[in-house]
Amino acid sequence: MTDPGTEESAHDYTWRNDLRRLFRSVTFDIGAVIVLFWVGCAIFGPSLVPHDPFADDLLNSLMPPSSDHWFGTDQLGRDVFSRVIVGARDILTVAPIATVLSTILGTALGLTMGYFGGLVDEALSRLVDAVLALPTVIVALLALTALGTSTVTVLVVIAFSFAPIIARTVRSAVLTEVRLDYIAAAELRRESTLYILFVEILPNVLPPILVETTVRLGYAIFTVATLSFIGFGIQPPSPDWGLSISANYGMISGGFWWTVLFDSLAIASLVVGINLVADGIESTLND
Amino acid sequence: MTLLTLWLLSVLIFAGGHILPGNVGRAMLGPFADPTAVEVLNHQMGTDRPVLVQYADWIAGFVTGDMGESYAYRSPVAPFLITALLNSAKLAAVAFVLVVPLGILGGVVAALHRGKAADRVLSVVGLSATVVPEFVSGIVLILIFGVWLDWFPISATWRDGAGPFTQLYHLILPSIPLVLILFGYIARMARAGMIEALDADYTRTAVLKGLSYRQVIWRHVLRNALLPTISVVATQIVYLIGGLVVIEILFRYQGIGSLIYTAAKKKDFPMLQAGVMAIGGLFALTTLLADLLYARLNPRIRFGGRE
């Protein structure tokens, strides 16, 4: 019989070892710095920016970047720099919540499909296929038109369209687990199904779930930004990036590049940052 | 199997367009409209009938090519849908012709330099390009190549009667964001296929037989490596269509994406459902074609030698 204490510390050791290797990965570090920067902007931005991101100043509208307005002003004379900084807030609220919801839903679905197999798996798999046959943006357009545009609808739509992808990953991870002896042992002990699913299997399939969740967070930001750009996501007067681009890109041929370029770079840097973090976690866990 | 998926999809889409909005007439006319007007409209559109009857009617119409009448234009949906699909097909074709060779080339180069800097850079750049939304790369491309350098037009719509080259010229810039999205996936699949083939016994045999490097790569590795890539390329069509919505809005192009978008804005449910259903059908069709093509190219399946 092994002493539970030593087992615990051995587990602790590999965990710390993974973490150390993770921080040594250059791509992860760059990604983490970018993401933390935007999270900082989302939390502390409103009290740090030089101008009120909502204050109109029609006399100074569409001014190019200057020492007073670093990124220039938009068509209502609002300071673009302040809006870009504060614009991180809404997307970094909506996207992570949607991702967590889809992870919970997808994990439950995947555990069920993988553990029960047979007809349950077959039926749920077909449903998953049907949802995956449509691009998320299209599903979102249909649902948002039917239910009306609101943040809650955006959350639900993303949760439901990402859950099948997570379910697929979890399902294949569970399939390799269900044949192992500890599951048979738990079944012999007559543990409840819920106990076997969430206490026995779940901890063993956490690594792929973690990777999938980070990747999905990138796509949730992708989707929220896209929906905001086409007017079905975050609503005005939020300084959200996608929303600002959609309000200003019509004037792009007039040469007012500063009203769209900085918001575009903000979105690009955030998604790339999250992607680098996901890539770092994936290669650390796979080695 | 495909039919079952399609049927489930049709139920989901029908639910989205008919059941979720509750009272369709009310949703179209707004909360302050006269109740009698709402009732009359619902009766005209047949949305006051039982749900199952409506579904049967809708799906039967769809199968026979009658996709209903647009609420917004008061005329059949089908002609709009066909024009839009043709336009989108042109844009998608340009993107595919650019991305498939590039993606495969990227994957092959990465696999041949496995673990070295070139591999790492291709993987990180490819994956990063995949997660940047199309409208973001589109805006940056418009700024650089449309506004500052003035090399390409910033609207994808050409004048009536424009020749194929003018059309192509208008479609280059809009296709690049789609290329960026797809490049990473295709390159990754091609790389995985290449690595598997490079490590396979038949490759070692070919090398040991004394064949030249070029012969081994061209005749033994590439042929086997690119087979799985085909099915991935086909499934990427869905991502491509999701991207079309945004690209067609950004570049003002009349395709399936802007059709769905306009229908959504106008709460034109028949048009919206037909558009979404068409995309689902397209997906099922391309998946099927990819399977057939894969079977055709793979002698193990072609000669019926199932394991």
For A79, phi then psi, to 5°, come to -70, 115
Question: Among residues B227, B147, B166, B155, which one has the least CA distance to residue B194?
Answer: B227
The yes-or-no verdict on residue B301 having pLDDT over 80 is no
3-state secondary structure of A86: helix
Chain B touched by A27 (CB under 8 Å)? yes
**What pLDDT score does A152 carry?**
86
For residue B222, the one-letter residue type is L
Predicted ipTM?
Answer: 0.79
- Give A174→chain B minimum CA distance, Å: 24
Distance, CA of A219 to CA of B288 (rounded, Å): 27
- Give B118→chain A minimum CA distance, Å: 15
**What pLDDT score does A34 carry?**
92
**What pLDDT score does A120 carry?**
83
What average pLDDT does this structure show over A221-231? 88
Interface of A with B in 158-187 (CB under 8 A): none
Determine the residue of chain B that is closest to A266 in CA distance.
B136
Question: Among residues B261, B265, B278, B266, which one has the least CA distance to residue B67?
Answer: B278
**Chain A contact probe: residue of B20, B136, B144, B150 with most A CBs at under 10 A:** B136
Mean pLDDT of all residues belonging to chain A: 82
More confident residue, A118 or A10: A118
Is A277 within 8 Å of A35 (Cβ atoms)? yes
**What pLDDT score does B27 carry?**
67
User: Residue A11 — very low, low, confident or very high, per pLDDT cuts 50/70/90?
Assistant: low
Please tell me the least confidently modeled range out of A88-97, B214-223, B271-280. B214-223
The yes-or-no verdict on residue A36 having pLDDT over 90 is yes
Chain A touched by B248 (CB under 8 Å)? no
Per residue in B30-57, pLDDT (tens digit) is 667 777 777 777 777 767 677 777 777 7
Q: Would you call A134 and B261 a contact, using CB atoms and an 8 Å cutoff? A: no
- Give A69→chain B minimum CA distance, Å: 21
Q: Would you call B128 and A276 a contact, using CB atoms and an 8 Å cutoff? A: yes
Kindly list the residues from chain B whose CB atom is less than 8 angstroms away from the CB atom of residue A129.
5, 8
Kindly list the residues from chain B whose CB atom is less than 8 angstroms away from the CB atom of residue A132.
238
**What pLDDT score does B306 carry?**
45
Chain B touched by A243 (CB under 8 Å)? no
Is B208 within 8 Å of A105 (Cβ atoms)? no
Distance, CA of A144 to CA of B273 (rounded, Å): 13
Is B276 within 8 Å of A138 (Cβ atoms)? yes
**What pLDDT score does A117 carry?**
81
Q: Would you call A138 and B246 a contact, using CB atoms and an 8 Å cutoff? A: no
- Give A19→chain B minimum CA distance, Å: 21
Chain A touched by B24 (CB under 8 Å)? no
Residue B25 burial (C-beta neighbours within 10 Å; 0-12, 13-18, 19+): buried
Is B107 within 8 Å of B194 (Cβ atoms)? yes
Q: Would you call B9 and A249 a contact, using CB atoms and an 8 Å cutoff? A: no
Q: Would you call A141 and B272 a contact, using CB atoms and an 8 Å cutoff? A: yes
To which residue do tokens 């190549």 refer?
A: B145
Nearest Cβ partner for B128 among A134, A144, A275: A275
**What pLDDT score does B89 carry?**
85
Chain A touched by B133 (CB under 8 Å)? yes
Percent of residues, chain A, with pLDDT higher than 70? 95
Q: Would you call A126 and B239 a contact, using CB atoms and an 8 Å cutoff? A: no
- Give B258→chain A minimum CA distance, Å: 10
Residue A235 DSSP label: P
Question: Among residues A151, A167, A162, A154, which one has the least CA distance to residue A102?
Answer: A162
Please tell me the least confidently modeled range out of A61-75, A90-104, A146-160, B102-116. A61-75
Kindly list the residues from chain B whose CB atom is less than 8 angstroms away from the CB atom of residue A264.
136, 139-140
Interface of A with B in 197-226 (CB under 8 A): 218-219, 222, 225-226
Kindly list the residues from chain A whose CB atom is less than 8 angstroms away from the CB atom of residue B12.
130-131
Per residue in A231-279, pLDDT (tens digit) is 888 888 888 888 888 888 877 777 777 778 888 899 999 999 998 888 8
Buried b / exposed e over B153-179, threshold 16 CB at 10 Å, is bbbbebeeeeeeeebeebbbbbbbbbb
Chain B touched by A250 (CB under 8 Å)? no
Count H helices, E strands: chain B? Answer: 14, 0
The yes-or-no verdict on residue A49 having pLDDT over 60 is yes
Distance, CA of B151 to CA of A132 (rounded, Å): 38
Per residue in B223-232, pLDDT (tens digit) is 777 777 776 6
Tokens of A185: 């042992």
**Which ranges of A117-150 does DSSP label H, i.e. alpha helix?**
118-132, 136-147
Nearest Cβ partner for B131 among A143, A219, A264: A219
**Which ranges of chain A does DSSP label H, i.e. alpha helix?**
4-24, 26-48, 80-86, 88-116, 118-132, 136-147, 151-178, 181-188, 193-195, 206-229, 241-248, 258-286
Per residue in B54-64, pLDDT (tens digit) is 777 777 777 77
More confident residue, A227 or B212: A227
To which residue do tokens 């080259």 refer?
A: B165
**What pLDDT score does A33 carry?**
92
Kindly list the residues from chain A whose CB atom is less than 8 angstroms away from the CB atom of residue B261.
141, 230
Distance, CA of A32 to CA of B111 (rounded, Å): 28
Q: Would you call A279 and B127 a contact, using CB atoms and an 8 Å cutoff? A: yes
Question: Among residues A250, A234, A232, which one has the least CA distance to residue A74?
Answer: A250
Residues with Cβ within 8 Å of B69's Cβ and at least 6 positions away in sequence, in order, are B75, B76, B77, B270
For B242, phi then psi, to 5°, come to -55, -40
Sign of CA dihedral A185, A189, A192, A198: negative
Tokens of B307: 């394991």
Determine the residue of chain A that is closest to B23 in CA distance.
A146
**What pLDDT score does B303 carry?**
62
**What pLDDT score does B150 carry?**
76
**What pLDDT score does A101 carry?**
94
Q: Would you call B16 and A143 a contact, using CB atoms and an 8 Å cutoff? A: yes
**What pLDDT score does A5 carry?**
47
More confident residue, A103 or B10: A103
Distance, CA of A121 to CA of A118 (rounded, Å): 5
Is B241 within 8 Å of B277 (Cβ atoms)? no
Q: Would you call B140 and A222 a contact, using CB atoms and an 8 Å cutoff? A: no
The yes-or-no verdict on residue B258 having pLDDT over 60 is yes
How far, rounded to the nearest angstrom, does the alpha carbon of residue B50 sit from its chain's CA centroid? 34
Residue A254 DSSP label: G
Distance, CA of B290 to CA of B285 (rounded, Å): 9
- Give B211→chain A minimum CA distance, Å: 34
Residue B219 DSSP label: I
Per residue in A175-185, pLDDT (tens digit) is 888 888 888 88
What average pLDDT does this structure show over B72-92? 81
Q: Would you call A271 and B260 a contact, using CB atoms and an 8 Å cutoff? A: no
Residues with Cβ within 8 Å of A248's Cβ and at least 6 positions away in sequence, in order, are A74, A75, A256, A259, A260
Chain B touched by A26 (CB under 8 Å)? no
Per residue in A94-120, pLDDT (tens digit) is 999 999 999 999 999 888 888 888 888
More confident residue, B120 or B19: B120
- Virtual CA dihedral for A180, A183, A189, A195, nearest 10 degrees? 170
To which residue do tokens 């019509």 refer?
A: A250
**What pLDDT score does A1 carry?**
42
Nearest Cβ partner for B131 among A135, A137, A272: A272
Q: Region of A118 please: left (phi>0), alpha (psi -120 to 50) or beta.
A: left
Nearest Cβ partner for A138 among B6, B154, B245: B245
Tokens of A254: 């007039």
| Cis ω for the linkage preceding A237 (within 30 of 0) | yes
The length of chain A is 287
More confident residue, B27 or A228: A228
Distance, CA of B236 to CA of B248 (rounded, Å): 18
